[in-house]
Amino acid sequence: MNLQQLRYVRETVRRNLNLTDAARALHTSQPGVSKQIREFEEELGVDIFERHGRRFVALTPPGRELIGIIDRILLEVDNLRRVGENYAAGDSGRLTIATTHTQARYVLPRVIASFRERYPKVRLSLQQGNPSAVARWVLSGEADIGIATESLDHLEDLIALPAYTWTHSVVVRPDHALANSGALTLQAIAEYPIITYSKEFTGRSHIDEAFAAQGLAPDIVLTAIDSDVIKTYVELGLGIGIIASVAFDPERDRQLKCFEAEQLFPINTTRVAIRRGAYLRDFTIAFIESFAPDLTRERVIEAIGSNRTADAE
Amino acid sequence: MNLQQLRYVRETVRRNLNLTDAARALHTSQPGVSKQIREFEEELGVDIFERHGRRFVALTPPGRELIGIIDRILLEVDNLRRVGENYAAGDSGRLTIATTHTQARYVLPRVIASFRERYPKVRLSLQQGNPSAVARWVLSGEADIGIATESLDHLEDLIALPAYTWTHSVVVRPDHALANSGALTLQAIAEYPIITYSKEFTGRSHIDEAFAAQGLAPDIVLTAIDSDVIKTYVELGLGIGIIASVAFDPERDRQLKCFEAEQLFPINTTRVAIRRGAYLRDFTIAFIESFAPDLTRERVIEAIGSNRTADAE
DNA sequence: TATCCTTACGGAATTCGTAAGCATG
DNA sequence: CATGCTTACGAATTCCGTAAGGATA
């Protein structure tokens, strides 16, 4: 048994049991992967993959049990590497953050600016996608941490720590009928065409819930994953916009009038997601702390509940 | 990085940082271990062992973090093997039980008899020792499960499940002054020489607590780890004996008179200990269930809280 | 001076890539 | 017949043992 065999099995499972794909992804030859998997199965005495002729069609029952263990082993192997880097190259390395557009565009810039000042030698990369992709990237290890407002709970191997809360705002053109009204109501908003986020994004589910709770059927004429796109179409007069409050910039968005809507829609919580059992580099924890000062180093270590010993600086 | 390197590091730590010992224990050459450890350290970029000249004198800080991760990896590697065996050779294999004398002599025989009937192809082995040795064997993987009454709690990586409770009995010779008294008291017992278990064994701590709580200083003239030894010396007239109630056999022990002492000494709980995160073979779980019917298969799987998927037969 | 880790070196075993084979959809 | 796993084989690498070296307590 060796680690390479475990990697081959894991990758083959991840690639929908396509061994050829797995070999390509691992930059190695397909027969090599085939042989190693065979030998691994022989050593364990059980088949991991159910084969129809020469094709893999499913995991066997022992295969399903093994894959969970294999995932944990390879996670811990990554952790060994990270511990090494943390001590050997404390302030340099790479930090991959999976997140959504709103975070990347409106929240992270100031955090990243200060992070880069403190850790100039860390190479940052942002993986942008929808919240379930964010969760997937963190779970697979492609990203170190994930930041999103939805879809980060209800996953056993994902730890989602609340970072901050925020509310939506309504934006309209200055010449819109609602522009000079007093306090907005959901009823009033529902009379006009609406532009807001796509399903799954940036608290959209809370928007839908709020309307549904009052039996309203809003006319959502356009959705986007992107606050800038929403604002652009509001400016064009296509409807009124519902966006995250952080996405309104009084300086830039002079063509729009903004109403805070914290009374109308439920409060949203943006969370930082970490893979359970993953070892976090010091600078990763520092990033989280700088993103959400409530999440102190101690609380993060406590929450991931593993690996890091108490005396680790 | 490979698994062999991890084994070398773990064994060296277990052997008090003596690499030569570790190599011997692993049936390999000492220079081979040295080289592999060096290469592993180089790959990670940190030293694991602190060296004075050419001697290992301590773990470095990263070393302390790494060793925990290494232990988990190697545990999971064992788990892979066990899953394989569980499916490939379901009803055969080896089950090692670490336990104390009282359990091995008075409690386990009937459990083992029925277990052997159900799983005739499983080779059983009993590792007998004091409770802290039991804990150590389970933690190191030398035993699959541990059964003991003391010293099994307060260890993070050990899960101790309550199996059954029991109380002590007092045994005396029929010609002893107490033989025909009514209900015994601690005061009465403390007047005579006492023979009972050694420190750490079979509820001895509860016996001491009971006397101490009443300010009594019993005259313990002889201690043994072994109920049979205790009974033998009681028969010789050296004193009165305090033993686990299960260790009294009315058939065999006709030369002794036995008083149940559940009022005098606190109740004892015998526990089954499992290493956290270890995969248990089906027959291991069956053994536990047969030892303590309260510990059903579901509750055991729940308690170890890992590895085994819900659908595992 | 005994213990114990490191270095050097050579043979054995393992790993991995290329080429060809064969079964399924 | 295209896709996709397996078999065969040879080269490169890795692993591991023996022998010798050097440092500490």
The alpha-carbon gap from B301 to the nearest alpha carbon of chain A, in Å, equals 14
Query: What's the confidence (pLDDT) of residue A146?
Result: 95
Query: What's the confidence (pLDDT) of residue A301?
Result: 87
Quick one: average pLDDT of A47-64? Answer: 92
Residues of chain B found within 8 Å of residue A85, distances taken between Cβ atoms: 45
Q: How far apart are CA A174 and CA A257, in angstroms?
A: 6
Quick one: average pLDDT of A21-41? Answer: 94
By DSSP bridging, strand A145-148 and strand A93-99 are parallel
> Closest to A83 (Cβ–Cβ): which among B1, B65, B308?
B65
Query: What's the confidence (pLDDT) of residue B11?
Result: 96
Q: For residue A293, is pLDDT > 70?
A: yes
Query: What's the confidence (pLDDT) of residue B154?
Result: 80
The alpha-carbon gap from B215 to the nearest alpha carbon of chain A, in Å, equals 41
The secondary structure element, H or E, covering residue A196 is strand A193-197
* Of A102-111, A138-147, A200-209, highest mean pLDDT: A138-147
Our measurement of CA A42 to C1' C24, in angstroms, reads: 24
Q: Which nucleotide is nearest to A22 (CA to C1')?
A: D4
> What residue ranges of chain B have pLDDT lower than 70?
305-313
Contact B44 A313 (CB under 8 A): no
Residues of chain A found within 8 Å of residue B80, distances taken between Cβ atoms: 1, 44, 66, 69-70, 73
Question: What are the tens digits of pLDDT across the range A61-106?
Answer: 999 999 999 999 999 999 999 999 999 987 999 999 999 988 998 8
**Percent of chain A topping pLDDT 70:** 97
Query: What's the confidence (pLDDT) of residue B306?
Result: 57
Interface of B with A (CB under 8 A): 1-3, 43-46, 61-62, 64-66, 68-70, 72-73, 76-77, 79-81, 83-89, 279, 307-309, 311-313
Task: Of A28-42, A163-177, A271-285, A291-305, give the lowest mean pLDDT range.
Answer: A291-305
Q: How far apart are CA B266 and CA A190, in angstroms?
A: 71
Contact A86 B62 (CB under 8 A): yes
CATH fold label, B90-163+269-304: D-Maltodextrin-Binding Protein; domain 2 (3.40.190)
- Phi then psi dihedrals of residue A77, to 5 deg: -65, -40
Contact A45 B88 (CB under 8 A): yes
Structure tokens that stand for A68 in this block: 């969970």
Q: Is the pTM of this model over 0.85?
A: no
A187/A73: higher pLDDT: A73
pLDDT band of residue A31 (cuts 50, 70, 90) is very high
Query: What's the confidence (pLDDT) of residue A179?
Result: 84
Largest Cα–Cα distance of chain B, in whole Å? 75
Look up the protein residue whose alpha carbon has the minimum distance to the C1' of C24: A53
Count residue pairs from A and B with Cβ separation < 8 A.
Answer: 107
- Between the alpha carbon of residue B36 and those of residues A229, A312, B73, B146, the distances in Å are 57, 26, 17, 34
Contact A307 B66 (CB under 8 A): no
Residues of chain A found within 8 Å of residue B281, distances taken between Cβ atoms: none
Contact A73 B76 (CB under 8 A): yes
Question: What are the tens digits of pLDDT across the range B81-91?
Answer: 999 999 998 79
Q: For residue A135, is pLDDT > 70?
A: yes
- Residue ranges covered by each domain of chain B: 3-83, 90-163+269-304, 168-266
Interface test with A, best of B5, B60, B76, B304 (most A CBs within 10 A): B76
- Tell me, yes or no, if the two domains B90-163+269-304 and B168-266 fold the same way: yes
The secondary structure element, H or E, covering residue A52 is strand A49-52
Residues of chain A found within 8 Å of residue B73, distances taken between Cβ atoms: 73, 76-77, 80
The alpha-carbon gap from A48 to the nearest alpha carbon of chain B, in Å, equals 10
* C-beta pairs of A149-156 under 8 Å, 24+ apart in sequence: A149/A100, A149/A102, A149/A202, A149/A203, A149/A268, A149/A269, A149/A270, A149/A271, A150/A200, A150/A201, A150/A202, A150/A203, A150/A204, A150/A205, A151/A200, A152/A271, A152/A273, A153/A271, A156/A276
Residues near chain C strand, CB within 7 A: A 2, 4, 27-32, 35-36, 39, 52-55, 57; B 17-20, 30-31, 34-35, 37-38, 51, 54-56
Q: Confirm or reject CATH 1.10.10.10 for domain A3-83, answering yes or no.
A: yes
**CATH no. for A168-266:** 3.40.190.10
Look up the protein residue whose alpha carbon has the minimum distance to the C1' of C18: A29
The secondary structure element, H or E, covering residue A211 is helix A204-213
A122 within 8 A of A170, measured Cβ to Cβ: no
